[in-house]
Structure 1
Amino acid sequence: MVARRCLVTGAGRGIGAAVARRLAAQGHAVALTARSAGELDAVAAGLPGPALVVPADLTDPIAADAVVGAVERAWGGPVEVLVLNAGAGTSAPLARTTDEDWARMLDLNLTAPFRLLRRALPGMVEGGWGRVVAVASTAAKRGDPYVAAYTASKHGLLGLVRSAAAEVAGSGVTVNAVCPGYVDTPMTAATVATISTATGRTPEQARETLARRQPIGRLVDPDEVADAVLLCVGSAAITGQGINVDGGTVQS
C-alpha cells in the first residue's frame, strides 16, 4: 500500500482518534486537527508513524487554508486523504432553536467541511488521486424531533459530498460520507447527560434508551465507523455514497 498524506479533523477523541489510529497503522502519515491541542498531542504520541498536530478552530474562515497549508509545508505535498469528522450537536424544539444554535450547527458541521474540501480538492485532482470521507450521521437521511439544526447541517453535508463526488468523478478522487447512528463517544455521552437531566432517568437508563433505538441493541464502536472510513479510502469504485453505520437503524 502506498503511504499517503492524511488530514483528520476532530481527531482528539472518539471517531476522529479511531480513524487516525487506523490510518497510521496502515502506514500513512496523519495530521490531526481540533481545538484541543492536549488531546491531539495524546493521540499523536500513540501513532506508529509520522504525525503532525495542527490545533485550530475550524469555524474560523482562515482555518482551512492554515491547516491544509501546514500539512503541505510539513510533508511537501498536498493532502491526499481528508477525513471531515469534526462536528457537534444541539437539541431543542424547533420553536426554541435560536439563531445562534442554527448558525453554530451550520458553521461547524457544514461550512467548515466545505472550506476544507474546497481548499484540499484541487491538489487531489491535480495529483490524480484523492479520498475525501465526511462523517455525517443518520440525521443526514432522516428527520427526528428536537434536532432540526443538527439535521439540516448533516443533510447539507451529505448533499455537499454527493455534488463534489459527481464533479470530480473520473479524476481519481472519490468523495463519500459515512453516516453513523449512536456511537460510544463523548458526543453521545453528552446526549445521555441531556436525556438524564430532562427526564430524571439515570445516565445508565438514558444510555440504554439510545442503545435500544438501534436494532443491534447497543451503541456503535468508534472503530466500527473507522472500518467504513477505511473502506472508502481503500476503494476507487465507491464515491458519492452515504454509508450507514448504525446497527440497521436506517435501511437504504
Structure 2
Amino acid sequence: MLHSGKHALVTGGGTGIGLAIAQALAAEGAQVTITGRRTEVLEAVAGNGLHALAMDVMDEAQVVEGIKTAVAARGPIQIVVANAGIAEGKSLQKTDLEFWQRIMRTNLDGAFLTIRESMRGMLDTDWGRVIVVSSLAGLRGLKGAGAYSASKHGVIGLIRSYSEEYMGGPITFNALCPGYVETDIVALNSESIAQRTGMSVEQARQAMADSNRHRRLISVEEVATAAMWLCHPLSGAVNGQCVEIAGGQVR
C-alpha cells in the first residue's frame, strides 16, 4: 500500500470531502487522524484506520495540544489536509465584523494553525504532503460571499508562500479548488437560497449544479481522488499549484 506506516491528519474529517479523503488515505494504509468539533460525528466513522480527535481549528490551544496528542499516538504527520471550513455567504452590507471574523478564523486561521503545527514533526521526516481544500471561489470570487471568497483566496496564498519557503525539499504544498460538491453544505445552502429567492429547494440545488461547467454536482470521491494524486510518491514535481475540480475550464 502506498501510504503504509504513514500518519495523516485531516481536519473536518468526519463528513463530506474530509471524510472521503480520510477514507481514501486509510485504504492505502495510512493511519488517519480525523478532527472536528463534534465528537459523536467523528466516533461514528472512526475505525478501519481512522482515529477521532475532537479539535476546533479556531482555537490555537486546541490545535497545538490536539496535534501533539496525535503525533504522540501515531508518529509525525506526513500528510496533512486542511479541510475544515465554513461555507456561508452574505452580501457586503450584511456582513458584520463578527461574521467576517468567524469565517476567517475557521477557514484561514484554522488552515494556518493546522499546517504550522503539523509541520513541526513533518520537517524531521524525509517526505511530506500539505494540502488545503480551497474552492473555485478562491480563484475568481463568488458573488454574495466576500468573506468566504477572501478566506479561500487566503489559503491559496499560504500554499503558494510555503511552497516557495520549502522549495527543493521533500514536502509539497498544493490546493484543491472544487466547484459545488455533493455534501451537506449544498443541502443547507439549497434551503438558504430557496428562502431568499423564492426558488424551490430543488431549483436552488440545480442552480448550484449548473454553476459547474459540466452542469452537475461533483462527488466527494472525485475530490478525494485528486487529493490522492497529490499524495502519490511520484507527484513531487507538483508544488504550489491550485488543482481546479470544476468539470471544465474555469472562466
Measured against the shorter chain, the TM-score band is over 0.9
- 1:95 and 1:2 mapped to 2: Cα distance? 47
After TM superposition, the structure 1 stretch with the greater mean CA deviation from structure 2, 148-157 or 211-220, is 211-220
SS class of match (1:163):
helix
Aligned to 2:99: 101
SS class of match (1:140):
helix
- 2:16 and 2:88 mapped to 1: Cα distance? 18
SS class of match (1:188):
helix
User: What letter is aligned with 2:181?
Assistant: V
Q: Does 1:26 align with 2:25?
A: no
Residues 90 and 101 of structure 1 are in contact (CA less than 8 Å); yes or no, is this contact kept in structure 2? no
Q: What is the number of residues matched between the two proteins?
A: 247
Aligned to 2:240: 240
Post-superposition Cα deviations, 1:201-222, rounded to whole Å, max 9, x if no partner, equal 1111111111111121100000
Structure 1 residues not aligned, in runs of 5+ = none
Q: TM-score, normalised to structure 1's length?
A: 0.95
SS class of match (2:130):
strand
- 1:244 and 1:140 mapped to 2: Cα distance? 10
- 1:134 and 1:192 mapped to 2: Cα distance? 25
- 1:232 and 1:72 mapped to 2: Cα distance? 22
After TM superposition, the structure 1 stretch with the greater mean CA deviation from structure 2, 210-219 or 148-157, is 210-219
Post-superposition Cα deviations, 1:73-132, rounded to whole Å, max 9, x if no partner, equal 111x21110011100122111011010111011100000110111111132222121111
Aligned match for 1:90, one of 72, 88, 91: 88
User: What letter is aligned with 1:154?
Assistant: K
Cα RMSD of the aligned pairs, angstroms, is: 1.2
Residues 125 and 168 of structure 1 are in contact (CA less than 8 Å); yes or no, is this contact kept in structure 2? no
Aligned to 1:213: 211
Aligned to 1:69: 68
- 1:202 and 1:227 mapped to 2: Cα distance? 32
The structural deviation recorded for 1:2 is 4.2
User: What letter is aligned with 1:244?
Assistant: E
Aligned to 1:42: 44
Aligned to 1:55: 54
Aligned match for 1:154, one of 152, 155, 163: 152
- 1:2 and 1:189 mapped to 2: Cα distance? 33
User: What letter is aligned with 2:73?
Assistant: A
Aligned to 1:250: 250
Aligned to 1:17: 19
SS class of match (1:141):
helix
Structure 2 residues not aligned, in runs of 5+ = none
- 1:177 and 1:74 mapped to 2: Cα distance? 27
Percent of aligned pairs with the same amino acid: 38
Q: Does 1:193 align with 2:195?
A: no
The structural deviation recorded for 1:249 is 5.5
Aligned to 2:202: 204
- 1:123 and 1:143 mapped to 2: Cα distance? 34
User: What letter is aligned with 1:241?
Assistant: Q
Residues 22 and 50 of structure 2 are in contact (CA less than 8 Å); yes or no, is this contact kept in structure 1? no
Structure 1 stretches of at least 4 aligned residues deviating more than 6 Å after TM superposition: none
The structural deviation recorded for 1:61 is 1.6
- 1:122 and 1:169 mapped to 2: Cα distance? 17
